[in-house]
Amino acid sequence: MEDYEKLGAFYLGKAYDLEADELLEDIVLYDSKDLTTHAVIIGMTGSGKTGLGIGMLEEAALDHVPVIAIDPKGDLGNLMLTFPELRAEDFRPWINQREATDKGLTPDDFAKAQAELWSKGLAQWGQGGERIARLRDSAEFTLYTPGSSAGQPISVLRSFDAPSEALREDNDLYRERVQATATSILSLLGMEADPITSKEHILIANLLEDAWRDGNSLDLAGLIASIQQPPMKRIGVMDIDTFYPAKERFALAMKLNNLLAAPGFDIWMEGEPLSANRLFYTDKGKPRVSIVSIAHLSDAERMFFVSMLLTEIVSWMRAQPGTSSLRAILYMDEIFGYMPPTAAPPSKNLFLTLLKQARAYGLGLVLATQNPVDLDYKGLSNTGTWFIGRLQTERDKARLMEGLEGAAASGLFDKQRMEQILAGLGKRRFLLHNVHEDEPVVFNTRWAMSYLAGPFTRQQIQTLMAVRTTGPTSPVEEVPRQVAASGTAPISEASQRPVLAPDIPQYFMPLSERPSGDERVVYAPRLIAAADVVYSSARYKVEEERRFFFAWELTDGPVPVEWDAGEALAGDLERLEREARAQAAFGECPGVALKSKNFSKWESAFKRWLRSAEPLVLFRSPGFKLVSLPSETEGDFRVRLQNAAKERRDIAVEKLRKKYAAKTTTLEERLRRAHQIIEKEAEQSRKKKMDTVISLGTAILGAVLGRKRLSSTSASRVGTAMKNIGGMQKEAGDVKRAEETAKAVRAKLEELELQMEQDLQTLEPFDAQAEDLEEISVKAKSTDIHIHFVALGWLPYGRTGEGRLSPAYE
């Protein structure tokens, strides 16, 4: 293990001596849990702050810490350029062609030079291809491009999803979510809306709250319709038409509709749904580094997306259990304009909320900027770590000193020394001011493992996603079983609805999408069944109830129902309809569905199938002796295991540090006293030596200048001088003994430090993705399966004039 490979510590670089202008060998490590109190990186263009940020995100990925990185400049995509073999052909597609031409090199030669440069640079900092390979394996790296199909798109406007019930019960947070969403929508229209005075803001906020109050989501089309025909009659004490006349509401609806109809705007409704959990983790629970590039967006679109993303992160954060370890990181490469000192864009309050509350949930914020005067330093007073690079103006330095003084712990702040340090910083050199450490340190950032090619173009992003696919480029959603089932056989229409025996139950699924134009509804016959199942296990402390609602195709063959081919249906059983929609067509009903006795047989078979095919699957961790909750997926459980491992690791590291702290303090005190003795004895030795020289010199001089024969006085002086020589030798011996004592104490300190490092290395890093989980199946008892019905169900489809069918039910 390299010296910098410490559990829970980020390798940032090495200490730098500004006075001597030289790099020291002292490695600078940063405890990951310190990041729960957040960090800010400040430095002018060219100071190396993006390199520092990329280095921190690399360390986070190695430590299995997931990241959402907002990238306004297009630089952070470089995190995708990791080449373990460091071959020239790996670098070739990403080199700067113009830079190669300026240096008089062919692209191939320049790529070779870059590969050699990176190999040499990594080696100088004790890194290599093996560490790059571990970086790639530790997390999944994905480049998202909201509002663009160049990378992985994110669906923001498909729907404004209702907040969770827990968030709705938190009045302050719920109100903030409503206000932020309303403000973000209006910012997309280029409208600066005040929540108190703006009619547009008040109306949209009320429409959102009306839908969300009952847990209903609202898409953009539904919002447009609600603006024209609001579901409420009053806002406050005023009639809706008095408060906001219909003509003005129509104008607002038209603005939103024009936005929706604008060429290329449909990409905002494509891609993965905006979900913080999906951005932080894969479906299998593997940590993800989600690079969200917004460089291609307009200012209004950037503000809209960032505000929607922050709103989602706040909701995710509040749903997490508390922890003192670092659970996840939110990084933004340029915070300018999103948290200004005076104005109040929709993103500002969301950032302030995260800075104040995220620590309790293990979410760390890292905010970077080159404009310190444009930041809200009251908000950044909640920031525990400051990385300060080279600054451009005296105004920047003055404002930064103000912020540092406000954030300093216990009011201890050496302003004069800090100004001297800031004045001497150069490229890639930063002052690390951490409230969790005793004093600041100046360091030089390490070499980045990622190839820093510069901002990506759209074409480069497309090439990157084609070359290194980390996930599907189409919307990543669980494919419902109904899609496969509905396409297994064509629906042949009967001339009329079949007549059934009165004891055969039948239901009609409600339409989720009403056909339009020349489409008409076609009902397909299916066997449908619903049941509530209770899973109970005292051993695993499980008491879980689940509802199952399935549909199967029926045939007149030897196997009328293939139970394992059923499709799961959504929807409330209370919403099932007893009658078909007017002028609907019907699919041909197989003969087995016309016999009432078959339904009682199928009820028994359904019950047996549920018991065998739908057990409650739990996962058990052999290492942690933990069992998943009934509501947890395998991915969620692995995330919980990884967080538990971090918490255990941090506790174990802290215990070891405390264990050795007392011994280290005792030895350091002995060393301090030994140094005092050395200084004291050395001073006495110097004094004794001087006294001896003076006494002996005086005696000899008196003898020479006085009489030819040595007088009794001179003899006495010589005798005293000889005694002083003996005392001088004794003092020299005392100094030597004190130096030996100090040497022995230093050896014990080194031995103690080595022992602590060995103990720390026994704390093996834990990778939740690598652990083999045991599956536990909890089957329901027959008496715990309650069948609601087994009936003939009619599922609606929309048939167009071209003869195509598409499901029109949930």
**H/E run at residue 708:** none
**CA atoms within 13 A of residue 400's CA, in its CB half-sphere:** 28
* Other C-beta atoms lying within 10 Å of the C-beta of residue 639: 26
**CA atoms within 13 A of residue 413's CA, in its CB half-sphere:** 17
Q: Of 346, 329, 302, which Cα lies nearest the Cα of 195?
A: 346
68-77, 441-450, 732-741, 746-755: least confident range: 732-741
* Residue 264, token pair as written in the block: 């290329």
CB of 369 closer than 8 Å to CB of 25: no
What are the φ and ψ backbone dihedral angles of 520, each rounded to 5 degrees? -140, 160
Looking at residue 482, its pLDDT comes to 35
* Residue 638, token pair as written in the block: 């692995």
Looking at residue 398, its pLDDT comes to 78
pLDDT digits (tens, 9 = 90+) for 392-435: 787 778 777 776 776 665 556 677 788 888 888 989 999 999 98
pLDDT digits (tens, 9 = 90+) for 140-168: 999 999 999 899 999 887 668 788 777 78
Looking at residue 474, its pLDDT comes to 36
In this prediction, residue 290 has a pLDDT band, given cuts at 50, 70 and 90, of very high
Looking at residue 202, its pLDDT comes to 93
Looking at residue 690, its pLDDT comes to 60
491-507 average pLDDT score: 77
372-381 average pLDDT score: 77
Q: Is the pLDDT of residue 108 over 90?
A: yes
Q: Rounded CA gap, 162 and 152, in Å?
A: 24
- The separation between CA 206 and the C-alpha centre of its own chain, rounded to angstroms, equals 32
In this prediction, residue 486 has a pLDDT band, given cuts at 50, 70 and 90, of very low
* Residue 383, token pair as written in the block: 């920031």
Q: Residue for token digits 């500002």? A: 348
Q: Residue by residue, what is the 3-state secondary structure of 106-138?
A: CHHHHHHHHHHHHHHHHHHCCCCHHHHHHHHHH
In this prediction, residue 286 has a pLDDT band, given cuts at 50, 70 and 90, of very high
Q: Is the pLDDT of residue 546 over 60?
A: yes
Q: Rounded CA gap, 260 and 806, in Å?
A: 24
* Residue 195, token pair as written in the block: 């929540």
What are the φ and ψ backbone dihedral angles of 129, each rounded to 5 degrees? -60, -30
What b/e readout covers 277-288, taking b as 16+ CB neighbours within 10 angstroms?
Answer: bbbbbbeebbbb
Q: How many helices (H) and strands (E) does the chain have?
A: 22, 26
Q: Of 67, 270, 73, 68, which Cα lies nearest the Cα of 153?
A: 270
Q: Is the pLDDT of residue 278 over 70?
A: yes
107-111, 182-186, 303-307: least confident range: 182-186
Share of the chain above pLDDT 70, in %: 86
527-543 average pLDDT score: 95
Looking at residue 536, its pLDDT comes to 95
Looking at residue 744, its pLDDT comes to 81
In this prediction, residue 470 has a pLDDT band, given cuts at 50, 70 and 90, of very low
Strands ordered across the beta sheet of 67-71: 22-31, 9-17, 441-445, 429-434, 385-388, 39-42, 363-369, 328-332, 67-71, 288-293, 140-144
Task: Compare 397 and 457 and report the one with higher pLDDT.
Answer: 457
Q: Rounded CA gap, 661 and 667, in Å?
A: 10
Q: Rounded CA gap, 77 and 291, in Å?
A: 7
How high is the mean pLDDT of the chain? 85
Share of the chain above pLDDT 90, in %: 51
CB of 331 closer than 8 Å to CB of 366: yes
Q: What is the pTM of this model?
A: 0.80
* Other C-beta atoms lying within 10 Å of the C-beta of residue 412: 8
Looking at residue 487, its pLDDT comes to 40
CB of 464 closer than 8 Å to CB of 291: no
Q: What is the dihedral of CA 611, 614, 616, 618, to 10 degrees?
A: 130
CB of 182 closer than 8 Å to CB of 201: yes
Which DSSP string do the residues of 655-666 spell out, in sequence order? HHHHHHHHHHHH
Looking at residue 585, its pLDDT comes to 87
640-666 average pLDDT score: 86
Looking at residue 572, its pLDDT comes to 84
Residue-range domains of the chain with CATH: 7-80+140-153+270-477 (3.40.50.300), 162-267 (no CATH), 481-615+779-807 (no CATH), 635-761 (1.10.287)
Using DSSP bridges, classify how beta strands 363-369 and 328-332 pair: parallel, antiparallel or unpaired: parallel
Which DSSP string do the residues of 515-575 spell out, in sequence order? --TT-EEEEEEEEEEEEEEEEEETTTTEEEEEEEEEEE---SSS-S--GGG-EE--S-GGG
- The separation between CA 137 and the C-alpha centre of its own chain, rounded to angstroms, equals 17
- The separation between CA 141 and the C-alpha centre of its own chain, rounded to angstroms, equals 12
762-778 average pLDDT score: 88
Q: Is the pLDDT of residue 569 over 70?
A: yes
Looking at residue 475, its pLDDT comes to 36
Looking at residue 382, its pLDDT comes to 83
